[in-house]
Amino acid sequence: MGYVCLIFLSAFFLVSMTSESFDAMEGDALVIKCPPRSSYVRITWYHTDSNKIIPAEEDGSRIFSSKRFLWFLPTSREDSGNYTCVIHYSNNGTKEFNISVQVHPYKQGICFPSQIRYPNNTGRGKIVCPTFDNYKNATIIQWYKDCKPIQGERYFKGDKYIYINNPGKEDDGFYTCQFIYTHNGKVFNVSATRIFVSNVKYSPLPPQILFPKHKDVIEVDLGAALSLKCQARLGIKKQPIAVVTWDVNSIPVKYFDFSRFHEETVFFEGHDQEYYRETTLHITEIKKEDLQANFTCVAVNEMENTKATVTLQLKAQCKDGKIYDAYIIYPKSRTSEANFVENFVYQILPDVLENKYGYKLCIYGRDICPGEDTASAVEKRIQKSRRLIIIVTQQLIHHEDLAYDQHIALYNALIQNGAKVILLEMETIGTYEKLQESLKYIIKQQGTVKWKEPPTGQPQSSNSKFWKHVRYRMPLTHKTSRSANAG
Ligand SMILES: *[C@@H]1O[C@H](CO)[C@@H](O)[C@H](O)[C@H]1NC(C)=O
Ligand SMILES: *[C@@H]1O[C@H](CO)[C@@H](O)[C@H](O)[C@H]1NC(C)=O
Ligand SMILES: *[C@@H]1O[C@H](CO)[C@@H](O)[C@H](O)[C@H]1NC(C)=O
Ligand SMILES: *[C@@H]1O[C@H](CO)[C@@H](O)[C@H](O)[C@H]1NC(C)=O
Ligand SMILES: *[C@@H]1O[C@H](CO)[C@@H](O)[C@H](O)[C@H]1NC(C)=O
Ligand SMILES: *[C@@H]1O[C@H](CO)[C@@H](O)[C@H](O)[C@H]1NC(C)=O
Ligand SMILES: *[C@@H]1O[C@H](CO)[C@@H](O)[C@H](O)[C@H]1NC(C)=O
């Protein structure tokens, strides 16, 4: 039903020109209505082309007028054409409407509703039968969706509408009401079709940031550009309140005047009309201060807000891509008793190498949490270590089987020619005959650094000769030592 409205102002009265169209099936009843609602004196109906007035009902007349209504009981194919209703107002003004009527013949194999369309009503499930109100004594006999009869508990049928419980996209389509109209004891069929587009009210969901993950650390290069994407799901269908934005140290990016940061947002619907927004923070050039900053993505809808904060870290802190100076391999105590080796590994070694000399160590149990996929976690850490420190004790001799991480370590050290190995002989071994071949090989190449118990009363860390040899084998520190003298 096209609706065109043109308004002309003439000398004394208003004439508006409008056209509307109605469709009907051949042989059905058709009642059309002259559009205006305000009070009028009378309405006359014409055949537009012939200018012939259509009279009121007489006995046996098929087409007749009655106030605002024009009747076709029933329609015939030759009725297709233009009709005009002229409304006469009390101030002698008139208004004229042209209405186009199209009568469609039934055709075998063609679904009747496909041709008769009234305006779609997008709605929450209530589909009103079009033109039904024009018929004073009508009864709906069947509803169809896309030509198939509608059945089921999801549908509630009212006198002139059908109600779909909880409509979704799958309910979109052409809905036809077929009804009967009784006039002077004669029964007529009428059908009218309209498009339904489900218009479920948007529903917010608790905002969910899909990425980045909270506390993610993103590796960056100084001076480089960076784009941080944040994607959040905010609900079903387009939300009236939907914001996904970035804060830098709690200040929204939009408040930064300088152009190093700017953001860009897109939105889209996923499956089941899930509504997403994705905001990209563009940083034109990473500066040092960014490494200390918190970048927080904030997702807001009418329910609540959710945040995810990421920080930046330099990609590789040193040119060789290593992050540890040494990975420590040590025999695990088989008893729960504290022993010297564990004390050495957890206390003395970090105290001297890390605290005094600024090395960074990777110690299994301290830097690799139990529960991490051990094999690959160990391998990764070893690959990122410049040295392997192997603590040599009697346990290495008496237990042929090296711990799993020792195997990997040796494999990496010897075969892949990666990290350099430092052997710390914590207990006198005497003969190395019983050691694993690979260890014997290393000892042959470079010897071991031998621990000597410091004189009683002296701290363990004051074994200066020992530490001097260790440091000699360690890489150069990138931190100036806090204490030039180890004791
Ligand atoms: C109705 O149609 C006739 C013939 O096409 C035209 O002359 C007239 O201006 C139209 N009136 C309106 C209101 O559109
Ligand atoms: C009805 O009027 C429209 C213009 O308003 C015109 O295009 C159409 O041809 C007319 N139909 C008939 C059957 O005269
Ligand atoms: C309407 O027209 C009639 C006759 O042409 C005239 O007598 C009457 O005063 C007019 N009414 C108005 C409100 O102009
Ligand atoms: C429904 O009608 C509106 C307004 O008349 C129109 O913008 C929209 O495209 C129509 N939708 C369909 C599916 O026909
Ligand atoms: C209204 O329709 C019913 C059947 O649908 C019929 O029995 C009744 O006579 C009709 N009333 C009038 C006034 O036509
Ligand atoms: C009304 O429609 C039904 C089914 O579509 C058909 O069987 C019946 O003959 C029709 N009645 C008239 C008067 O056209
Ligand atoms: C970054 O966030 C952490 C944790 O909330 C906070 O302790 C720190 O002060 C924040 N840094 C800045 C620069 O705002």
Mean pLDDT of the chain: 81
Query: What is the length of the chain?
Result: 487
Q: What is the CA(137)–ligand 5 centre distance, in A? A: 6
Q: What is the CA(90)–ligand 3 centre distance, in A? A: 9
User: Radius of gyration of the chain from Cα atoms?
Assistant: 43
Residue identified by tokens 């990016």 is 253
Report the alpha-carbon distance of residue 32 to residue 45 in Å, rounded.
11
pLDDT exceeds 80 at position 36: no
Is the CB–ligand 7 distance for residue 249 below 6 Å?
yes
Nearest CA to ligand 1 atom 6: 48
Is the CB–ligand 1 distance for residue 15 below 6 Å?
no
Give the pairing type, strands 14-25 and 63-66: unpaired
pLDDT computed for residue 293 by the predictor: 95
Residue ranges around ligand 6 (CB below 6 Å): 27, 189
Give the ligand with the smallest distance to the CA of 97: 1
- Name the residue of 121, 197, 198 whose CB sits within 8 Å of the most ligand 4 atoms, as the mutation to test its pocket: 197
Report the alpha-carbon distance of residue 445 to residue 288 in Å, rounded.
43
Report the alpha-carbon distance of residue 348 to residue 391 in Å, rounded.
13
pLDDT tens-digit readout, 224-282: 899 999 999 998 788 888 999 999 999 999 888 777 999 999 999 986 678 999 999 99
How much is the average pLDDT of 2-14?
Answer: 29
Domain 326-473 has CATH 3.30.450.20: no
Report the alpha-carbon distance of residue 479 to residue 463 in Å, rounded.
22
Least confident of 3-7, 97-101, 142-146, 162-166: 3-7
How much is the average pLDDT of 92-99?
Answer: 89
Q: Which residue has the higher pLDDT, 45 or 111?
A: 45
Report the alpha-carbon distance of residue 245 to residue 265 in Å, rounded.
8
Report the alpha-carbon distance of residue 190 to residue 37 in Å, rounded.
24
Residue identified by tokens 């550009």 is 225
- The CATH superfamily of 218-314 is Immunoglobulins (2.60.40.10)
pLDDT computed for residue 1 by the predictor: 33
Nearest CA to ligand 4 atom 11: 120
Here the tokens at position 299 are 């997702």
Give the model's confidence band at 413: pLDDT under 50 very low, under 70 low, under 90 confident, else very high.
low
Q: Which residue has the higher pLDDT, 454 or 66?
A: 66
Q: What angle do CA 89, 92, 96 make, to 5 degrees?
A: 60
- Name the residue of 294, 296, 311 whose CB sits within 8 Å of the most ligand 7 atoms, as the mutation to test its pocket: 294
Residue from 185, 182, 181, 140 nearest 159 by CA: 140
- The CATH superfamily of 11-104 is Immunoglobulins (2.60.40.10)
How far is residue 356 CA from its own chain's centroid? 49
Does the fold of domain 326-473 match that of domain 11-104?
no
How much is the average pLDDT of 372-387?
Answer: 76
Q: Quick check: 367 and 428 in contact, CB under 8 A?
A: no
Each domain of the chain, given as residue ranges in start order, spans 11-104, 118-196, 218-314, 326-473
- The CATH superfamily of 118-196 is Immunoglobulins (2.60.40.10)
Nearest CA to ligand 3 atom 8: 92
Handedness of CA 363, 367, 373, 376 (dihedral sign): negative
Report the alpha-carbon distance of residue 450 to residue 425 in Å, rounded.
5
Give the ligand with the smallest distance to the CA of 12: 3
Paired with 328 in beta bridges are 363, 389
For residue 27, the SS3 value is: coil
Is the CB–ligand 4 distance for residue 195 below 6 Å?
yes
Report the alpha-carbon distance of residue 213 to residue 118 in Å, rounded.
50
Which atom number of ligand 6 is nearest to the Cα of residue 27? Answer: 14
Distances (CA, A) of 280 to 202, 228, 277, 398: 25, 5, 10, 59
pLDDT exceeds 60 at position 483: no
